[in-house]
Structure 1
Amino acid sequence: MDALISMSPQALAAQLTLGLINGSFYALLSLGLAIIFGLLNVINFAHGALYMLGAFVAWIAMTQLGGWIGQPDLQINYWLALLLAPVVVAAFGILVETSMLRRLYKLDHLYGLLFTFGLALVLEGLFSQWYGTAGQSYAVPEALSGPMRIDELRMVLPKYRIWVVFASLGLCALTWWGIERTKLGAYLRAGTENPKLLKAFGVNVPLMITLTYGYGVLLAGFAGVLAAPVFQVSPLMGSNLIIVVFAVVVIGGMGSIGGAVLTGLGLGMIEALGKIVYPQASAITIFVIMVIVLMWRPAGLFGKTA
């Protein structure tokens, strides 16, 4: 606590900014998990591997695709990769959902968790075999390279990290609006309560579930593309993050869209402050908070109680 009090305002603002960047990734990944669990009741343990897949698809498209198709001079820029890689991940997720995951919906939740955990291990194993475990990287676009000076706070921040915060929170806000304020979102919420009644009104519930799963993993792929220049591309980048993201979802409330976003941001900031107050325990701060929250409110901060 003394370290926190003695910090200059500029140093404190810099640390909180770092927490905001990490919290943005937590929020975006947690949002995808919350959407999938809210409608499908599936604990998608493959979410971290799909996040990794998005980063690898972007890296391959930007650095190796030209050589694969015999045109070494062909290059896909960052902006095109940011659009294409999440779509590729979503298409893969839809293929998995329609061919395998759909068969497990009527079974216990444990089967879905075991399947997605196995899928994560397969993806991580394949990419480790193909590319090794060393981190890969690609350059950020020129418009996002270099520092940005914030005179009011006497800070200099990388432009790319500022872009990550705005892109992540913008997509989170757009997703929340789509689910909470649109007709399609109303169908999705109704599908979580009574899918049989919704089907009786002519709504194609299986297609809606498939597209929802696809969008949830699209968010993971988008986060992977954003994260690659910050954390580097590695087969293990998802497994290093997914446990923290699950803790965020549990604290916010399983299936709560707003809870996932707000909790992700808040815990990112708390984690950053924890590194100042007691660095040795900063790695377990989120899990301590999870235990306290579950003892006080088992459904999570924003979850619905039974």
Structure 2
Amino acid sequence: MEEVASQVLVGLANGVMLALLAAGLSLIFGQMNVVNFAHGAIYALGAYLGFLMVDRLGVFWLALVGAPIGLILVGIVTERWLLRPLLDRTGLEPLLMTFGLSYVITESIRVGFGKIGKPVDIPGELSGTIPLGFMDFSKYLAVAAAIGVVLLVLTWLLLERTDLGRIIRAVAQDSAMSMALGIDVIHVRRIVFCLGLALAALAAVLSAPLRGVHPDMGLEILVTVFVVVVVGGLGSFGGSVAGGLLIGLVTSLVSMEWPQWKDVAIFILMSLVLLARPRGLLGRE
């Protein structure tokens, strides 16, 4: 029983990281109706930006600020010059653009940093464990999960309790009507795209000390993130959070006895959810 409890805590903590990453992907889809296949590569780029800051400056916490800023700048350029010209086209052009961008970023990382992964040191003040009686829980994982929860709550407050959030939701529901009412739809889409990339950077920096960084990390996590978004519901921020926690929990529990089946388990879960709720747990109509 104690082992189950420990795996639940680890699964929920890892689920928070997945939720951060999936929330960014879901926001971009909800606003721009584009499945961003480059999201995993963007995540990897954020992790490497964090690695550079820790390696050169020696201060992990600066990476939590610097990496999101770096990806926001990437987002501004990507949205303006690569995605915006394709958004009004029908067909696969936007999807193929993000697919190609994913490989450009991944190969650029491989050329710039090499094929071998690199570790990211846990901040000294967060090394060690927290005794919980039935287990010793990683101090860093606990703090990283807490930071992730705070970031998710702040994002929810932005979307649900601010004028900007109401505008974002209005554009997501009906961009043509929003434009007729005088809302700068292009500007709103740019903001949401950059917000999605910033969330990916934060998830990457928080996860880097636990998993290290390597060029293919974005491609490896992308499938899992798509499962999270589909389970939670495409375009739903709350669904991404619920899906992330659920997938993190299932992966952790299955790993106890059948680690080789953990990836299969999440696809079985996705299939069951889609059979019961084709739009996902909290998907919009």
Structure 1 length as normaliser, TM-score? Answer: 0.89
Q: Larger Cα Rg: Structure 1 or Structure 2?
A: 1
1:173-252 equivalence runs, <5 A: 173-252=153-232
Q: Deviations over 1:214-249 (max 9, x none)?
A: 010100011111111111011111111110110110
1:144-183 equivalence runs, <5 A: 144-151=126-133, 154-183=134-163
Q: Aligned pair 1:60/2:52, yes or no?
A: yes
Matched positions, count: 285
CA distance in 1, matches of 2:248, 2:190: 31
Deviation at 1:276, TM superposition (A): 2.9
Partner of 1:4: none
Q: Aligned pair 1:261/2:261, yes or no?
A: no
CA contact (8 A) 1:62 1:138 kept: yes
Deviation at 1:110, TM superposition (A): 2.4
Letter in 1 for 2:51: W
Q: Which residues of structure 1 form unaligned runs of 5+?
A: 1-8, 65-74
CA distance in 2, matches of 1:110, 1:254: 18
Deviation at 1:295, TM superposition (A): 2.5
Letter in 2 for 1:150: L
Q: Aligned pair 1:111/2:93, yes or no?
A: yes
1:270-285 equivalence runs, <5 A: 270-285=250-265
| Pick aligned residue for 1:101 from 83, 95, 100 | 83
Partner of 1:13: 5
Q: Deviations over 1:9-40 (max 9, x none)?
A: 22111111221122112111110011001111
Q: Aligned pair 1:28/2:10, yes or no?
A: no
Deviation at 1:76, TM superposition (A): 4.9
**Does the residue aligned with 1:148 lie in a helix, a strand or coil?**
strand
Q: Which residues of structure 2 form unaligned runs of 5+?
A: none
Q: Deviations over 1:67-106 (max 9, x none)?
A: xxxxxxxx25111111111110111011100111101111
CA distance in 1, matches of 2:10, 2:211: 13
**Does the residue aligned with 1:42 lie in a helix, a strand or coil?**
coil
Deviation at 1:126, TM superposition (A): 1.1
Partner of 1:42: 34
Compute the RMSD of aligned alpha carbons.
Answer: 1.5
**Does the residue aligned with 1:298 lie in a helix, a strand or coil?**
coil
Deviation at 1:62, TM superposition (A): 2.4
Partner of 2:107: 125
